[in-house]
Amino acid sequence: MTSEARARTLGELKASGYKPSTVKEEMRRNLIRRIRAGEPLFPGIYGYEESVVPQLENAILSGQDIIFLGERGQAKSRMIRSLTGLLDDALPIIAGSELNESPFEPITNASARRVAEEGDNLAIEWVSRDRRYGEKLATPDITIADLIGEVDPIKVAEGRYLSDELTIHYGLIPRTNRGIFCINELPDLAERIQVGLLNIMEERDVQIRGYRVRMPLDVLVVASANPEDYTNRGRIITPLKDRYGAQIRTHYPRSVEHEIDIMEQESSAFDDADYKVSVPQYMKEIVAEITRLARRSPDVNQRSGVSVRASIADYESLLANAMRRSIRIGENDVVPRISDLPYVIPTITGKVEFETVEDGKEEQIIEKLIHQAVVAVFNRHFNVVDLEDIVTKFKAGQSVEVGDQMSSNAYVSLMKAVDGLPRAVATLDTGENPALVASAIEFILEGLHLNKRLNKDRVSGRTQYRG
């Protein structure tokens, strides 16, 4: 319904043929329409097409409340917020209603009186889908007043009785009536607050200060939790756990390609007209592989997980150092190199939790992960046997120096001096771009070193490769 055609009174709404439906019916209807039309259901979500999304579709089709279980950085909140895309563009409510009440089924006595007194002249207001979503991060200091409501002393002072529902200041959940409400990190909610949440979900009433308000709220309640807290520590009251119809387990990207898609989508982008940023595929793979290796490392606490945000932040740091180099040496092409990788160490160190290690060992652990990532990606792109002509040249006494502040043209001259190197560089689709050539040369030399075909030394802030 267009904004011009939207009803402004209850009479006009009836005449338009509008039929009210519950939130779950509305989302189910829109989901079916999207599936039939082949429209994307959750744009920007990668790697869940065959795992999480089918479970979520089933939960919506069955009208169940949902809890997402997963470690940090698994797009739980993003998935939950994307559910608003299954709501209608706009919803008619009684104008001025605090609780988004339907003019066909008011839930407070005050609104019911307005419908009875004003009839078809009752003013109608339309709320967008964004205004029908509420979210709260569970913390120990949350109160029933925050989620459900509290008696407003000012309203009592105005002369109303405590038994009058008009004295209540409603909390977040009632104000999300006819919408979606999410509680992030549900296990951190105090048990007494969980009981109040259960009452809303099961009994559909509100109990405030001993006064029971019958309130058939129409809310899809969604929650997120870390499985360590949810399943092992017993911090969820059993009746509340039983109330959630669907328990959906999220996961980290299962392929490098999905990790890269997320990195590219979520990383900060700037409009730098004077610089052209190009990132070789192998450099993207290396950044993604560092995170994937960290998720399997015995030196990293796997209970807390390694978020996809680690990949995103590492990618941003890598590009930042490449940009810094281009600015300093006066080049317009921004292309990250292997020598930029040490600059991701401060970033990823703040994104992971280490198992008990000696002070100062964290950097060594990250360096090891970087080396493992580089050699893994190198061996996907090259067979060391095919590069023996390069190794032979170094065994004959050749040595080269590289560094993160060297100009790209210096690498082009270096390449011409090493037999076999131009052919190997060409397989990486660098074209004639000196910055891409520089990145490719560093990748090849480091890959040969990590495969124990070349030696490497640090010389005056640069890296020397030799036979």
From 225, 249, 273, the end of a domain falls on 249
Is residue 144 in some structural domain?
Answer: yes
Average per-residue pLDDT for the chain? 88
Non-local (6+) Cβ contacts of 23 within 8 A are 87, 178, 179, 180, 218, 219, 220
DSSP H/E element including 66? strand 66-69
- Asked if residue 5 is part of any domain, the answer here is no
Range 17-41 average pLDDT = 94
Written as six digits, the tokens of 53 are 């999304």
Strand partners, 66: 222, 246
pLDDT at 459: 77
Q: Is 132:176 a contact under the CB 8 Å cutoff? A: yes
Residues 348 and 420 in one domain: yes
pLDDT for res 207? 64
Which pLDDT score is estimated for 294?
Answer: 93
Of 9, 3, 204, 166, nearest in space to 93 by CA: 9
Residue 205 has pLDDT above 70, yes or no: no
| In a domain? residue 4 | no
Phi, psi of 320 (to 5 degrees): -65, -40
Q: Which residue has the higher pLDDT, 151 or 464?
A: 464
Kindly report the backbone phi and psi dihedral angles of residue 105, in degrees, each rounded to the nearest multiple of 5, phi listed first. Answer: -140, 75
pTM for the structure as a whole: 0.85
Are 190 and 144 within 8 A, CB to CB? no
Q: Residue 241 falls within a domain, yes or no?
A: yes
pLDDT, residue 94, reads 95
Angle at Cα 376 formed by Cα 374 and Cα 379, nearest 5°? 105
Most confident of 51-60, 405-414, 415-424: 51-60
Q: How far apart are CA 213 and CA 142, in angstroms?
A: 21
Verify that 181 and 130 share a domain, yes or no.
yes
Range of the domain at 319: 256-466
Check whether residue 217 and residue 333 sit in a common domain.
no
Which range among 60-69, 301-310, 397-406 has the greatest average pLDDT?
60-69
* pLDDT tens-digit series, residues 256-295: 999 999 999 999 888 888 899 999 999 999 999 999 999 9
Could you write out the three-class secondary structure of 247-286? EEECCCCCCHHHHHHHHHHHCCCCCCCCCEECCCHHHHHH
2: in domain: no
* Residue 314 shares a structural domain with residue 407: yes
Q: Are residues 264 and 138 in the same domain?
A: no
Residue 289 lies in a domain: yes
Using the predicted structure, report yes or no on whether residue 357 has a pLDDT greater than 80: no
Secondary structure of residue 303 in the 3-state scheme: coil
* 196: Cβ contacts below 8 Å, ≥ 6 apart: 144, 147, 148, 207
pLDDT band for position 4 (50/70/90)? very low
Residue 73 in domain = yes
Compare 189 and 290 and report the one with higher pLDDT: 290
H/E stretch holding 81: helix 76-82
**Strand, helix or coil at 395?**
helix
More confident residue, 208 or 192: 192
The amino acid at 408:
S
The residue type at 146:
D
Q: Is the pLDDT of residue 417 over 50?
A: yes
Contact 167, 160 (CB under 8 A): yes
Q: Is 1 among the domain residues?
A: no
Considering the domain architecture, whether residues 107 and 233 belong to the same structural domain is answered as yes
Half-sphere exposure (Cβ direction) of 161: Cα atoms closer than 13 Å: 3
The residue out of 231, 249, 267 marking a domain boundary is 249
Q: Given this model, what pLDDT does residue 233 score?
A: 54
pLDDT tens column, 142-180: 888 888 877 766 666 666 655 566 667 788 988 999 999
The residues that bridge with 151 in the sheet, in sequence order, are 168
- The CATH number of whichever domain residue 70 belongs to comes to 3.40.50.300
228 and 358 in a single domain? The answer is no
- Residues 6+ away with beta carbon under 8 Å from 171: 144, 145, 146, 147, 148, 149, 150
Q: What is the longest distance spanned by two Cα atoms in the chain?
A: 99
Residues written for the chain: 467
- Give the model's confidence band at 303: pLDDT under 50 very low, under 70 low, under 90 confident, else very high: confident
79-121 pLDDT, tens digit each? 999 999 999 999 999 999 989 999 999 988 889 999 999 999 9
Q: Which of 249, 275, 310 is the last residue of a domain?
A: 249
Q: Give the mean pLDDT of 308-324.
A: 94
What confidence tier does 21 reach under pLDDT thresholds 50, 70, 90? very high
Q: At what angle do helices 434-450 and 408-416 cross, to 10 degrees?
A: 60
At residue 136 the predicted structure's pLDDT band, cuts being 50, 70 and 90, is: very high
